[in-house]
């Protein structure tokens, strides 16, 4: 009995020695979460809520760094190539699954170049018009866009952005091309929509709920199967005549691929603690978003979802014949 206990203790000691000391002591300094869009947008909102709620379980500050550009792929690549020590992470969304089809020279592989930590939440999108545009519903927007084909402007956060994907699907659905106006994020994009500099923007409720309620923009459709209790007056796209125009923007947390497993495990449990935080749950619910179940807040849950989304969006984007490079 004593001999087997001693053997077990030795085995545990050897196993512990096999883990680099840094991984055992992780985290011993502040962490950074990279957001690949400008500050103040929907991705930034999700990341800052999660970062703040991860600080207590990790016992370290978690700061957010905005690294916009190339529809989010610049910041994503920065983290893929960061030191695999768990201190530099990425929060990105559906763009991780659409970029392989959009960027023929994508500098990273979404499935191979990351340690996948877990899924975060899913966020519906709202199709918005500037207040000075005389359209009051989706049907009138479609008619106006068709009458102004090649002139109507559609803002987004660059190719690979959720706003780009939504705009692409909208143009396909109405068989009409619009002029795309790219921004470094949908925070600056919605500012220009409010100012009347652009005509249309499709953006996530995490960024649009407040502006819609304040009457600064007009929402003509929600890209969800059913209306939101947080925006009960916004009809779904199907109610407005565009059946099948549904799009949910999922977000997830990533680390560089060679991050040691003990570090990944600590990040997974910190993410799960953050998403179980009542303040985070309340804020995400108020903004119309749904947190994934805890079994998907895991490396396996994220990898499975990401592969399915890559398989789903690849053909859609190839059919649209849209490339970013
Ligand atoms: C997008 O993909 O459109 C982004 O969510 C925009 C942003 O977060 O700024």
Ligand 1 atom closest to the Cα of residue 95 is 2
- Chain position carrying tokens 């779904």: 236
Model confidence at 17, pLDDT cuts 50, 70, 90, reads low
Model confidence at 34, pLDDT cuts 50, 70, 90, reads very high
- Asked if residues 255 and 277 have their Cβ atoms less than 8 Å apart, the reply is no
Query: What is the pLDDT at residue 112?
Result: 98
The answer, yes or no, to whether residue 224 has pLDDT greater than 70, is yes
Model confidence at 323, pLDDT cuts 50, 70, 90, reads confident
The answer, yes or no, to whether residue 139 has pLDDT greater than 90, is yes
CA distances from 262 to 65, 115, 303 (A): 24, 12, 18
CATH 3.40.190.10 fits 124-222, yes or no: yes
Query: What is the pLDDT at residue 24?
Result: 81
- Asked if residues 207 and 187 have their Cβ atoms less than 8 Å apart, the reply is yes
The answer, yes or no, to whether residue 169 has pLDDT greater than 80, is yes
Helix orientation angle between 186-194 and 205-213, rounded to the nearest 10 degrees: 20
Domains 29-122+249-320 and 124-222 share a fold: yes
CB of 161 sitting under 6 A from ligand 1: yes
pLDDT tens, position by position, 261-291: 999 999 999 999 999 999 999 999 999 999 9
Question: What distance in Å separates the CA atoms of residue 192 and residue 211, rounded to the nearest whole number?
Answer: 12
CB of 36 sitting under 6 A from ligand 1: no
Instruction: Lowest mean pLDDT of 16-25, 109-118, 278-287, 301-310, name the range.
Output: 16-25
Ligand 1 atom closest to the Cα of residue 160 is 2
Domain boundaries, the chain: 29-122+249-320, 124-222
The CATH code of domain 29-122+249-320 reads 3.40.190.150
- Asked if residues 263 and 279 have their Cβ atoms less than 8 Å apart, the reply is no
* CA of 16 relative to ligand 1 center, distance in Å: 41
Question: What distance in Å separates the CA atoms of residue 98 and residue 101, rounded to the nearest whole number?
Answer: 6
pLDDT tens, position by position, 187-205: 999 999 999 999 999 999 9
Q: What is the overall mean pLDDT for the chain?
A: 95
Mean pLDDT of 48-58: 98
Query: What is the pLDDT at residue 103?
Result: 92
């Amino acid at each position: 009995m004593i001999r087997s206990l001693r053997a077990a203790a030795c085995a545990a000691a050897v196993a512990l020695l096999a883990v680099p000391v840094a991984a055992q002591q992780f985290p011993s300094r502040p962490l950074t979460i990279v957001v690949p869009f400008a500050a103040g947008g929907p991705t930034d909102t999700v990341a800052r809520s999660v970062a703040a709620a991860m600080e207590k379980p990790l016992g370290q500050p978690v700061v957010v760094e905005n690294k916009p550009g190339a529809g989010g792929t610049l910041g994503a690549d920065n983290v893929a190539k960061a030191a695999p020590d768990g201190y530099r992470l990425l929060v990105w969304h559906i763009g991780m699954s659409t970029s392989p089809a959009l960027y023929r020279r994508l500098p990273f592989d979404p499935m191979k170049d990351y340690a996948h930590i877990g899924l975060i939440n899913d966020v519906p999108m709202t199709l918005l018009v500037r207040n000075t545009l005389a359209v009051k519903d989706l049907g009138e927007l479609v008619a106006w866009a068709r009458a102004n084909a090649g002139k109507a402007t559609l803002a987004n956060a660059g190719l690979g952005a959720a706003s780009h994907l939504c705009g692409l699907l909208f143009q396909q659905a109405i068989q009409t091309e619009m002029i795309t106006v790219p921004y470094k994020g949908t925070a600056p994009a919605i500012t220009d929509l409010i100012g009347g500099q652009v005509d249309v923007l499709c953006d996530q409720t995490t960024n649009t709920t407040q502006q819609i309620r304040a009457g600064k923009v007009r929402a003509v459709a929600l890209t969800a199967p059913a209306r939101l209790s947080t925006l009960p007056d916004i009809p779904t796209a199907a109610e407005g005549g565009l059946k099948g125009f549904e799009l949910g923007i999922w977000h997830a947390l990533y680390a560089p691929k060679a991050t040691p497993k003990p570090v990944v495990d600590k990040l997974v449990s910190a993410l799960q603690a953050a998403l179980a935080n009542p303040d985070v749950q309340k804020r995400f619910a108020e903004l119309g978003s749904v947190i994934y179940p805890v079994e998907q807040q895991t490396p396996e849950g994220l990898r499975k979802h990401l592969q399915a989304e890559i398989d789903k969006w690849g053909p859609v984007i190839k059919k649209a014949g849209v490339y970013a490079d």
